[in-house]
Chain A
């Protein structure tokens, strides 16, 4: 786990506010993935990014959610106008190359979002 940095670890937002979750991948990793985990559920894919490109966002809700991975700085998952159902743990992962080839992907410690 060491190396994939997520912040904040815990975030509380009121309904209607915005949540921004940040992820710095491991050094040398150019592939970033975001997953959401609901209580008692498995991790669900949200989005896969490389530097300045969204490669696959098939797991992202169509509205209110967006992600970016700029040339400089961390990847950001942004949730606008949060609702109670957005309360979950959001995990970021990174890999040096695509995980399809069997490369290990490394997860961060997660960001726990609570919407009140």
Chain B
């Protein structure tokens, strides 16, 4: 069964600190992996997209890594800011089948405190 599991479910950190969010997936055949940021009451916004051959991709203070062998990805946030408080969603796409082939994780809710 195609699944995406994220951990931790929630996380509280102090402003300025770094943090790492985890994503494990059992999606096959793998196409790409995306990280989205979703502010409360808003739609998801794309942070990164990685294909099978990409190990790391950065977007400002956000750095995503991908290990296709172990089927794990992480999102590292550097020097956190209050505006980073949001849910971070890992999304995995698989080849074939229908076009409804984006599998969403439940997200990690990050709270950055001053």
Q: Is the CB of B44 within 8 A of A43?
A: yes
Specify which of A43, A58, A102 is in contact with B32 (CB 8 Å cutoff).
Answer: A102
The residues in B between 39 and 86 inclusive whose CB is less than 8 angstroms from any CB of A are: 41-46, 49, 51
* Residues of chain A with a CB closer than 8 A to B4's CB: 42
A104 to chain B, nearest CB (A): 5
Determine whether A40 belongs to the interface, using a CB cutoff of 8 Å to chain B.
yes
What number of B residues sit within 8 Å (CB to CB) of A? 24
* Residues of chain B with a CB closer than 8 A to A44's CB: 104
Determine whether A41 belongs to the interface, using a CB cutoff of 8 Å to chain B.
yes
* Residues of chain A with a CB closer than 8 A to B106's CB: 40-42
Q: A57 vs B42: C-alpha distance in the bound complex, in angstroms?
A: 24
Determine whether B102 belongs to the interface, using a CB cutoff of 8 Å to chain A.
yes
**Footprint of B on A, CB under 8 Å?**
1, 4, 33, 35, 40-45, 47-48, 55-56, 58-59, 91, 93, 98-100, 102, 104-110, 112
9 residue pairs of the A-B complex, CB under 8 angstroms, read A43-B89, A55-B99, A58-B100, A99-B102, A100-B93, A104-B49, A109-B43, A110-B42, A112-B41
**Footprint of A on B, CB under 8 Å?**
4, 31-32, 36, 41-46, 49, 51, 89, 93, 95, 98-102, 104-107
